[in-house]
Amino acid sequence: MTGQEDAVLAAIRSRRVVRAMSGEPVARKDLETVLDAGRWAPTAGNRHLQRFVATDDPATLRVLRMVSPGMIQRPAAAITICTDRRLAAEYGFPPGAAGLHVDVGTAMATLLLAAHAIGLGAGPVSSFSRAAVGEVLRLPQGWVPEVVVCLGHPTSGAPQPMHPQPRLTWRDLTTWVPHDDGA
């Protein structure tokens, strides 16, 4: 393994969802670094149907928290990943096409890793009112908010997981086909 591979795997292994964030602002340069990384996330057919809506405005973040019961953390910034459903339809994607959700997931994972790489804490939130978030962020017609990535400087005092579980290994999550009988 090369040093670069080691660094990437180390980042993947050490990244955690951050639920406790200080009130320290996120530098605009850092927010732009995370956003720039997001554009490199793989997408279905390289179409880039996801859109990013960023805010570091304290008033907007307060209202966003009000309509997002899953937002436990108090972020200093947030990036909402939206799907441009109008553009997706122009490309022939039906509203529930799996590729649209995969694109949001790859973008989210990329944003989370980018934030971790520059020392920011990050955590995804999917429990929110889509209609209310659309209003708060003044989303263009056809943009549907899919996930909010909260960003901030990590601090101690995060709530404990609701259902702690032992750490799984790749073996716990994998089935070989044809089935490997261990011989």
* CA atoms within 13 A of residue 52's CA, in its CB half-sphere: 25
DSSP one-letter code for 168? P
pLDDT, averaged in runs of 10, over the chain (183 residues) = 76 80 95 97 90 97 96 95 94 88 94 94 94 97 96 80 74 84 60
Hey, what domains does the chain have and what are their CATH numbers?
A: 14-152 (3.40.109.10)
Distances (CA, A) of 20 to 28, 66, 164: 20, 17, 17
Name beta bridge partners: 125: 148
pTM over 0.95: no
